[in-house]
Chain A
């Protein structure tokens, strides 16, 4: 029941989001057809605006947009006039999804064990070393780590291609550049969660019952300690799935991350609203899944 209600709630929420995005992007100064070269006459500009209904009142424009949206049509891109927003998303999203999932798996596969280990070996050399690595991953931004990876692994060593998106080898460096930072964050969340949990009374009880340390850590502590990571994973995955402007630029990956930033700089109204909606759907659905995972991991959380 609870989930059905949440799902029903998504529809008005998405409507509000689309309305806000639609209006806000139009408030920004400048428009999609402002170019370095002025059109030969003001009439030309008026004609272009008419063609895309930009001459109509805002609410009418939104009405037209909604009508098309209900038929699954995000409209034509105002910047790339031969492409529709649907085309662009259909072309770029699978690439961004792949890269996002790979980076997500890297972040979790690197972050969770690292956080777990550093917490269990707290104060030891493993803790200091591991925490340092996690901190390093967080502190080096993508636009630094990306070119560094290219310099070392592509140009100096020649192991991986410098860019583009063709073979599995092409995915390695972008995945690292995108995933390491989040891996660091996951490691820190995991470490804190674990440390907090290990101080709880039920752990003391478990130990008192005479369970082996492995059983205490893996069966009892881990389930609870991983919760902060789980709740972080929803928005994280949504972020990763819609692509990364920086990483896609550096490695020339043809995803949609580039459009996330450029479409608003270009005032490509239809593209902005389309991408905002896409991101909103991903975020809302993934958050729903996170809540579902919560209730399964921690029985104290009830879905009411």
Chain B
């Protein structure tokens, strides 16, 4: 009898374990998502986009996807980042450079079939400027007549009324023609038209669904791709828009854009063949650059990005230009690019990176410790005596920290002054910087279009990105003059003079180096990932050279 109960008990146990094991297997099998069809191209795109609304986006990874969905009147030539015709096939510019007349392509339609008209352009630009849209990048449209007035809610002195969207200098002459009035001749206006903030967005969907318009279906797009799905932190899948005006030349049917936080993971995915392209610099592990540099799939290139130090002009002793110059003159930038960044960065003495056609930056302050000590003594701190301990604000990152430590050492060794590291998380860093709650701080800037103005207007007195408290009326005047000047040679000279003030005569900043862009892809497999000054990577030129497409793979199955 005892034997029987024991074996019954045993059977019970076995049954229980079997049930438990089945449950585990079931969770394992059902909870793990499902395998998506492999896209033609899988691209590691950078951080998770905050939005895909081109009017709203500020980040580069966001913009790359938004740019694939929505096109502007012009688009960037992927080889040199200069504007080429987009939704507009041609344009006329008035003699004074202040009136642009755009002629839309005759055959353009939304991905849902309705025609894209001049009214859509007017709507999109007014929306970008509308205070209720709250676009961070609305400033890109301030060059349009009354753009700033409408965006900032100014009152028209002549009528006593607030500026309204109808006052903005953009109008539809007929369904195919858009006339734009500018505040002044803006030599880079066609560049701005290719910038995502000015892309053409679907009124019908936005008015119907509000902030959720990107998540609703159908979602009309004006660009080469439509949004298949967007799963946050997982993937964005885009599908070719068969109604795009240049659809015949769009080769890929499906493209996946994957967000990733970890550079090592991105590289692992590339090396294991799960991803075909990595095109965000933040997804390339910088500590491996030494090893990676020589490999055939790693492509480095110059782009418009500068790493520099800001001085807080509103605090002593940095209100004294001699002090700022002294601190700048002892920076051994070569050491920083060779020992820390190591991707082949070029050292910087000016703010505007090289490579812009028709503009050469002035030579700023170089490396001259002797001169630096003299200046510091003149300012009343011989040998660093009496110089207060000051802080250097930077956001948490291994690279920024290493740079900070180098700077600390250089300032201590050459000038005998003490700097304290102040490392904070990103948001604290940003708010401290904009509230001028720092002595010196790590900074960087990436250009939005290929023109020196994208770097230089930042240091005008009222600019929200100035963040140094530096106000130089002469500088403000020069920048304003330059943007009124139609002759490119004269204009370049004026901008040059302005930059001389910024990096040589009255510097509020100390440039350290120019960024290097890094793309990872196998040129034998993928074509059309061009390296340009804006680090722009549109999806439309991409081609797979091995001819593998999702359609073919499916057919093969």
Q: Which A residues contact B (CB, under 8 angstroms)?
A: 28-31, 34-44, 47-48, 51, 76, 79-84, 87-88, 91-92, 94-95, 97-99, 101-102, 105, 147, 150, 154-155, 161-168, 170-171, 249-252, 254-255, 258-259, 265-267
Whether the Cβ atoms of A252 and B32 lie closer than 8 Å is no
**Does the CB pair B136–A40 fall under 8 Å?**
yes
Query: Does B34 interact with chain A (Cβ within 8 Å)?
Result: yes
Beyond A164-B274, A250-B264, A252-B258, 17 extra complex contacts between A and B, CB < 8 Å: A34-B427, A37-B465, A39-B136, A39-B138, A40-B142, A44-B131, A51-B132, A84-B212, A92-B233, A98-B31, A154-B272, A163-B274, A166-B33, A166-B35, A167-B34, A168-B28, A249-B265
Q: Nearest CB to that of B215 among chain A residues?
A: A82
Q: Give Cα A255 to B262, complex, Å.
A: 15
Q: State whether the Cβ of B50 lies closer than 8 Å to any Cβ in chain A.
A: yes
- B152 interface neighbour in A43, A95, A102, A105, Cβ under 8 Å: A43
Report the minimal beta-carbon distance from A253 to chain B, rounded to whole angstroms: 9
Question: In the complex, are the beta carbons of A40 and B51 less than 8 A apart?
Answer: no
Query: B269, A48: Cβ atoms under 8 Å?
Result: no
Give the shortest distance, in Å, between B524 (CB) and chain A (any CB). Answer: 22
- B132 contacts A150, C-beta separation under 8 Å: no
Instruction: Contact check, A252 vs B265: say whether CB atoms are below 8 A apart.
Output: yes
Check A254 against B233 for contact (C-beta < 8 Å): yes
- Assess whether A30 is in contact with B431, with CB atoms less than 8 Å apart: yes
Given A102-B27, A162-B269, the answer on whether A39 and B35 have CB atoms closer than 8 Å is no
Among residues of A, the one whose C-beta sits closest to the C-beta of B427 is: A30
> CB-nearest residue of chain A relative to B56?
A81
Where the two chains meet, the residues of B that have a C-beta atom closer than 8 Å to any C-beta of A are 24, 27-29, 31-36, 48-53, 56, 58, 131-132, 134-140, 142, 148, 151-153, 211-215, 231-234, 258, 260-262, 264-265, 268-269, 271-272, 274, 425-432, 434, 463-465, 467
Q: Which of A41, A42, A48, A88 contacts B148 (CB 8 A)?
A: A41
Which label, helix, strand, loop or mixed, suits the secondary structure of the B interface? Answer: loop
Q: How far is the CB of B229 from chain A (nearest CB, A)?
A: 11
Measured CB to CB, the closest approach of chain B to A163, in angstroms, equals 5
Is the beta-carbon distance between A165 and B234 smaller than 8 angstroms? yes
| A contact residues around B430 at 8 Å (CB) | 30, 34-36
Q: List 17 A-B contacts (CB under 8 A).
A: A30-B430, A34-B434, A35-B430, A37-B58, A38-B464, A43-B131, A80-B49, A82-B213, A88-B232, A95-B31, A98-B27, A147-B264, A161-B274, A162-B274, A165-B234, A252-B262, A265-B426
With A87-B232, A165-B33, A252-B269 known as contacts, the answer to whether A40 contacts B27 (CB < 8 A) is: no
Measured in the bound complex, the distance between the Cα atoms of B349 and A274 in whole Å is: 47
B31 touches which of A48, A97, A164 (Cβ 8 Å): A97
Q: Which of A80, A164, A267 contacts B51 (CB 8 A)?
A: A80
Tell me which of A38, A147, A249, A258 has the highest count of chain B C-beta atoms within 10 A of its own C-beta: A38
Beta-carbon nearest neighbor of B137 in chain A: A40
- A42 contact set on B, CB distance < 8 A: 464
Please give the distance in Å from A15's CB to the nearest CB on chain B: 27
CB-defined contacts of B153 to chain A, threshold 8 Å: 43
Considering only CB atoms, which chain B residue lies closest to A251 in the complex? B265
Report the separation of the CA atoms of residues A131 and B35 in the bound assembly, to the nearest whole angstrom.
39
Contact B464 A40 (CB under 8 A): yes
Instruction: Find out whether the CB atom of B265 lies under 8 angstroms from the CB atom of A155.
Output: no
Are B211 and A76 in contact, CB atoms less than 8 angstroms apart? yes
4 shortest interchain CB distances as A-B pairs: A40-B139, A38-B464, A98-B31, A30-B427
B24 nearest CB neighbor, chain A only: A105
Q: Is the CB of B24 within 8 A of A154?
A: no
- Least CB separation from A170: chain B residue: B32
Instruction: Determine the chain B residues whose CB is within 8 A of the CB of A266 once the complex forms.
Output: 427
Contacts of A95 in B (CB 8 A): 31, 33
| Bound CA span A36–B274, Å | 32
Q: Report the nearest B residue to A172, measured CB to CB.
A: B28
Contact A155 B272, CB 8 Å, known A40-B138, A41-B148, A44-B136: yes
Question: Given known contacts A41-B148, A102-B24, A166-B33, is B269 in contact with A254 (CB within 8 Å)?
Answer: no
Give chain B residues whose Cβ lies under 8 Å from the Cβ of A79: 50
Whether B58 and A35, one on each chain, are in contact in the complex, defined by CB atoms closer than 8 angstroms, is: yes
Give the chain B neighbours of A39 by CB distance below 8 A: 136, 138-139, 464
Contact check, A265 vs B233: say whether CB atoms are below 8 A apart: no
Please pick, from A43, A48, A250, the residue contacting B265 in the complex, using a CB distance under 8 A. A250
Is the pair B134, A47 in contact by a Cβ cutoff of 8 Å?
Answer: yes
Expressed in whole angstroms, the Cα–Cα distance for A245 and B34 within the complex equals: 22
Q: Chain A residue with minimal CB distance to B131?
A: A47
Do B268 and A162 touch (CB < 8 A)?
A: yes
B212, A82: Cβ atoms under 8 Å? yes
Minimum CB–CB distance from A260 to chain B (whole Å) comes to: 12
B427 and A258 form a contact (CB under 8 A): no
- A166 proximity list for chain B (CB < 8 A): 32-36
Complex-state Cα separation, A147 to B267, whole angstroms: 12
- With A34-B431, A163-B268, A249-B265: A80-B134 Cβ-Cβ less than 8 Å: no
Q: What separation, in Å, do the CA atoms of A82 and B212 have in the docked complex?
A: 5
- Shortest C-beta distance, B306 to chain A (Å), equals 13
A98 near B32: Cβ-Cβ < 8 Å: yes
Residues of B within 8 A of A36 (CB): 58, 430
Q: Hey, which chain B residues are within 8 Å of A84, CB to CB?
A: 212
Q: Given the complex, which residues of B lie within 8 Å of A30, measured CB to CB?
A: 426-431
Q: In the bound complex, what is the Cα–Cα distance between A95 and B33 (angstroms)?
A: 8
Q: Which residues of A contact B427 (CB under 8 A)?
A: 28-31, 34, 265-267
**What is the bound-complex CA distance between A147 and B34, given in angstroms?**
24
Residue of A nearest to B260 (CB): A252
User: Judging by beta carbons under 8 Å apart, are A83 and B232 in contact?
Assistant: yes
Residues of A within 8 A of B214 (CB): 82
Q: Would you give the shortest CB distance from B61 to chain A, in whole angstroms?
A: 13
Residues of B within 8 A of A80 (CB): 48-51, 232
For the complex, give the distance between the alpha carbons of A83 and B212 in Å: 7
A167's partner among B32, B212, B232, B465 (CB-CB below 8 A) is: B32
**A82–B54 alpha-carbon span in the complex (Å):** 12
- A168: B residues at CB distance < 8 A: 28-29, 32
Q: Are A91 and B215 in contact (CB under 8 A)?
A: no
